[in-house]
Chains A and B, each alone.
Chain A
């Protein structure tokens, strides 16, 4: 099926044109260095946002799973936060924050598109990741907490040493999924004019009437996301065999 399709494509009369516009070695060579340089920005944004997301998501999940009646107002806020930021398309958030905050007349880093884009991604992904953590925390049976308290741990220690390690292990696959989605969604910041890999490739392709730069950018994303997926799979398997 796939082979037949490939045969059809490669022997069609339009194929030489397609090859020229999408897979031109010449265009690849000229555009690649710029795109690679721009991609470094994607990588840095991704790492920064991921760190924020892993921490903020956990804090929100802990608030949402807390039982203390005193925390009820914060718990309600956290629930609203998750509903809101999970329910809005990420690109819309990037737009709203990236263009909205500067209209408030702020200066310095608060008017910086790169920073605002990272804020938008962090807010959206923290909501996703909080829900993932929350599912993991609720899946650890209450008797584990009882048992931890019974051996003399404080509530915080019970969470830290008994509940969270088990919770995180159980939700590793969905957590890794969000991780990889985020790596790709970093390209959304291009709507703010940030010169990241997709944006640079787009400009190149528009000025040369050739789509090869976009293919070059796609390859760069894949060069990170595929090994990342494999490495994380491997780590997950190794840890599971110990548990």
Chain B
């Protein structure tokens, strides 16, 4: 395997006196998809937000392509331009057209000339089943379509890695499929990604590796088959048993 795209070393993060991340170590190689699983409140979103520098960490280091990004001297804007983030609740810009949502970042950051960004935006929207919706406002789209726009928005700037935070959990069940299909397609194109998810079937199918987060620590990692079929740690076993009982697998 090549050198890691993202490397997380000993990251801790508290909100007030609540310790949310308690020494996270995780490394993600190029083209690899890591599924981050764990109970609600285990710190999945917080970890992803820390990687995108939307939260400040208390301790540890995060490296992007071998360069430390959690140093105060690093400009967070330049880091975020190399990463893509997709939020659980889409967070599209409601006052802009679908196409402007997708091109805003690239155009304003100067990463691409406007024409190139527009062409790429149109092409990607078309590819992900949103052709003809470029001029619509986000609220004219279904939840599944909005989330695909959010995926395209993050993907359009050719990021080094995508950070996906439970991209389907705000969706009606019948809308989940198209969104997961879009993620799968990005993965097949070689996109490196961390996927926080409750969709175990999807995690098993798309992820190269699963990391199980429990109370702010990664207690078990491994291939989907290993972690899901023969988990070693009691916390993992309990988590999976509870999901199984809830009919979530």
Contacts and interface: CB of A to CB of B under 8 A. Distances in A.
B80 A149 contact: yes
Contacts of A20: none
Nearest to A158: B108
A243 B31 CA distance: 39
Contact of B108 (A147, A161, A166): A161
A150 B89 CA distance: 14
Given A146-B54, A157-B108, A151 B94 contact: no
A243 B96 CA distance: 8
Nearest to B109: A152
Nearest to B159: A152
Contact of A143 (B81, B89, B104, B157): B89
A92 B154 CA distance: 55
- Per DSSP, chain A at the interface is helix
B105 interface: yes
Nearest to B92: A147
Given A150-B80, A151-B157, A161 B54 contact: no
B70 to A, nearest CB: 16
B144 to A, nearest CB: 18
Residue of B87, B95, B153 ringed by the most chain A CB atoms within 10 A: B95
Contacts of B54: 146, 149-150
Nearest to A150: B85
Contacts of B92: 147
Contacts of A243: 94-95, 137
Interface string A147-183: 1111111100100011001100100000000000000
B93 A147 contact: yes
B94 A153 contact: no
A144 interface: yes
Contacts of B49: 146
B74 interface: no
Interface residues of B, number: 27
Interface in A190-216: none
Given A149-B80, A151-B157, A154-B77, A144 B105 contact: no
Residue of A143, A148, A151 ringed by the most chain B CB atoms within 10 A: A151
Contacts of A153: 77, 104-105, 108-109
Contacts of B95: 165-166, 169, 243
B111 interface: yes
A147 B86 CA distance: 8
Contacts of B153: 151
Nearest to B88: A143
A3 to B, nearest CB: 47
B89 A152 contact: no
Contacts of A157: 108
Given A152-B105, A153-B104, A243-B137, A147 B91 contact: yes
Contacts of B52: 150
Interface of B: 49, 52, 54, 76-77, 80-81, 83-85, 87, 89, 91-95, 104-106, 108-109, 111, 137, 153-154, 157
A-B pairs, top 3 by smallest CB distance, nearest first, are: A151-B105, A152-B81, A147-B91
10 contacts: A144-B91, A146-B54, A146-B91, A147-B93, A149-B54, A150-B84, A152-B80, A152-B108, A153-B104, A166-B95
Given A147-B87, A152-B80, A162-B93, 4 more contacts: A147-B93, A148-B93, A152-B111, A153-B105
